[in-house]
Structure 1
Amino acid sequence: MTTGLKSTAFEGNSFVYIRHLDDGEIRSLLPPDALDDVSDPEDLFVVASADGQRLAIVEGREAAFAAALANDLNPLSVH
């Protein structure tokens, strides 16, 4: 039996993943002076594409979600 459905629930949606960065990971990703203007380096989150590509590093979880939504992306939290 076939149906008229030709897409999945995820097709056509741009999902990104929001994940907290730990201190060791931050230091390996960024040059030493990159954190000079960051008020709380322990509150950094990465916004990553479905294939794992880092799109942004953002200070604060709420800011990471807001950045995704502002760019018409659907954020999902990853723990």
Structure 2
Amino acid sequence: MNGDPIQNLLNRINPQSDFATKHDAFVAETLECGGSYQAQAGNTFMIDLHGIRVLANSEANAHELWLRAANIQMRRLGGAA
């Protein structure tokens, strides 16, 4: 894929997708592009990918927070998210 990596990932993840689909997309992106996707101490979960880092109280919430932050970032940059 070419273009912005954040937009590319947003294009691959339907916000209505189930947990497993989002999990697989985030794990694949982390393995392919670098970043962190991991449980933290104290029942928190972190996604740090393409310069966007979120901490949440669950993996599912981390998905939602990362997607929200990515959409905001793309709007700020004039992207199509």
Q: What is the TM-score of this pair, normalised by structure 2?
A: 0.39
Q: Which has the higher strand share?
A: 1
Larger relative contact order (CA 8 Å, sep ≥ 6): 1
Q: What is the TM-score of this pair, normalised by structure 1?
A: 0.40
CA radius of gyration, larger in: 1
